[in-house]
Structure 1
Amino acid sequence: MEQKNCREENFFFDELVALRRKLHACPELDFDLKETAGIVGGELDSLGIPWRFVAGSGIAALLEGTGPGRTVLLRADMDALPVEEEGDDPWRSKFPGRMHACGHDVHTACLLGAAGRLTEQRGNFAGRVLFVFQPAEETSGGALPMIRDGLLEEPAPDGAFALHCDPSRPAGTVGVHRGAFRAASDMFDCVVRGRGTHGAEPHRGDDVIAASCRVVTALHELVGRTVSPAEPAVLSIGSFHGGSARNVLPERAEFSGILRTLREETRIALKAKIRRTVMNIPDVLGAVGEVSFTEGYPALVNDPGLADLVLRAAEGVLGKENVAVLTEPSMGVDDFSYFLQRIPGCYFMLGTGTGKGEDAPLHSPRFRPDERCLSVGTDVLVRTALSFLAGDYQK
């Protein structure tokens, strides 16, 4: 009997690997996920799980248990990145300039694996499992369009869970954070306008480059001088353009940056200070400063009780020594935050590294997960869902 179970586990792992490689070979961007959605839909059809499109290429599939109960949402993102893959694996990207460099192929394979496992056990639990395969996490965000398209209605989920690849942690491990874990994202674009003049006669114009440099310097001091050192926040300027000739002071300079925060109060306060800084410094120097903001995803905040549920589930799969309580938040972003604004839940990290300290980071053209993570991610999702449905959590 033990040998049979081993063979079954090996066969299941081989299926997960084949599925992940199939997804990896066809990376697609944003909401344009025709081939990827076709693979996901085909797998769900083979499992006999009814599904529907939501917000275009998003997919929602509902697995019913033995009777009334809670509804648990499990989410995977499906989209890839505009990255040229390096490497010669037979399953490398067949589309030039596109790659699953953030591991969304792993996420999708794990969720499909969980769908298969939970289908086998549907006679052993009450309630429902809502499998969500989401587009556009890397770009404009697919979570909010799916929510607006009725994803969370009839049935309304009681809890939500998702995993994400982490190459800094070895395969066979999981990390879980309680509370605010991923940052809110804001982008800003600034313009400083003034009178242009010859470089030899700066007094006849407004040196918008010099004014812009003063603004950038002041912006870089905002976090360090107005936010508590104990609170994570990041402001970075990544683009600066001004002028086209060495002896001409231009009429316009432009620069752009990002703001990442964990607390909404800090987010609001820093945006107001950015606006005042960009407008006031050029004004003192005789120029005009303008700023426009593009609001990104909100902060992702894990429910502490459900984070503990994931910790227990992961420890049951891997042993306590392979599960870490993460104490430092990430200043990266993920639009799973929109789900967690509406539903208590937990977003946790799945180790995908080799443990040798040579693993490429996420978004690298050399990112290559250790595929042993696939069965781990699947099993933790399954145990988490079953624990939640069984009531191993009280609000």
Structure 2
Amino acid sequence: MSFDLSVFSNKNIILAVTGGIAAYKSAILVRRLKDYGFNVRVVMTKGAQAFITPLTFQALSGNPVHSELLDPEAEAGMGHIELARWADLVLVAPASCDTLAKFAAGLADDLLSTLYLATKAPVWVAPAMNQQMWAAKPTQRNLNTLVEDGVHVIMPEAGSQACGDVGLGRMPEPEDLAEQVREYFHKAQRAIAEKFGLLAGKKVTITAGPTREAIDPVRYISNHSTGKMGFALAAACYSAGAKVTLIAGPVSLDTPNGVERKNVSSAMQMLDLSMQQLYDGCDIFIATAAVADYRVAEVSEHKIKKAGDELAVSLVKNPDIVATIAQQKQRPFMVGFAAETRNVEEYAAGKLVAKKLDMIACNDVSRADIGFASDQNAMTVFFADRYEMEKRDLEKASKQEIAQQLVEAIHDALEQQQPVV
């Protein structure tokens, strides 16, 4: 599974570290949160500084560490208010028994307890302590109070502890905590996209990558497509609120987060799955796959042995997937792609009409800087005459940026879509 790390680049996490041996895990947690793209600032209690130095967290987070309630360098000495406004989430890990008690009682005698009262951001606590301290009735009362106040409690794990005891009280692993944070923000952003995104509520099917047409059990006919453009489009459509099914030929790419992937090899397999998606409900069909025009008439059951200087292989034409879908009675909005090496715009405009598409995007794959294996692209987009929309030139950019622009073009065309005559 792949993630677009840029979607979290505007999300701010305060990681509060309190006194406990589990503070060493918090250093790893900072790194994992940064790996996901979050902005991280660290708040440390005096107890935390007895276990690990602020310099460690400053180096890992790239930001100064906050430990004093009245910071003369922050907003006229009101550093806790500045931090409280900055945060999108406050994560206390590890959360000591003392910290839980302060939160529950509403005390405000240090930076962290004051920050807790001053912030409107969600507060999560990951308690870590001796197993008997965890089980103690006052601790459990404090936890119940915090839950009633809306604090999210991440339950500790069981195992051997630094003191030699065995039981509940271990802080979860940093990777697990970071994943919970990522999933929280992902769900929040997904909910917004499904309601307000450019393709909110739409079902999108995308074909991507090459197809392989078998000659014998070890040989096949294929092309240079890597699937990068189709996968970038799948991620962009999902981010725009669509439910996305990606029908992928044989490529070495991770599935975009949230996208349903179906793997195929041959053109016939891709057509069968594409038709199934049509029957299951499809609003937009985007054909980025470089489908082989021909397949071998008779695939050899066994490996063909080398004999002589020539080998004759009979080929038959594959069905045109995008044209086949476009001819259906209940057809979706059809987007085609034209990868050409010459007369690019002329050929693309012809395919738009001949295949009865709504929109087509074309590019010159003979260019090394935007060809099949490149991470960049440049495209020209044409629309069917009934849309009365001028062609759009998408200047050279990353395939992710091009995908975003294509989603905008699809949205604009859908806004004025008319029934096909």
TM-score relative to the length of structure 2? 0.30
TM-score relative to the length of structure 1? 0.32
| Larger Rg belongs to | 2
- Greater RCO structure (CA 8 Å; 6+ sep): 1
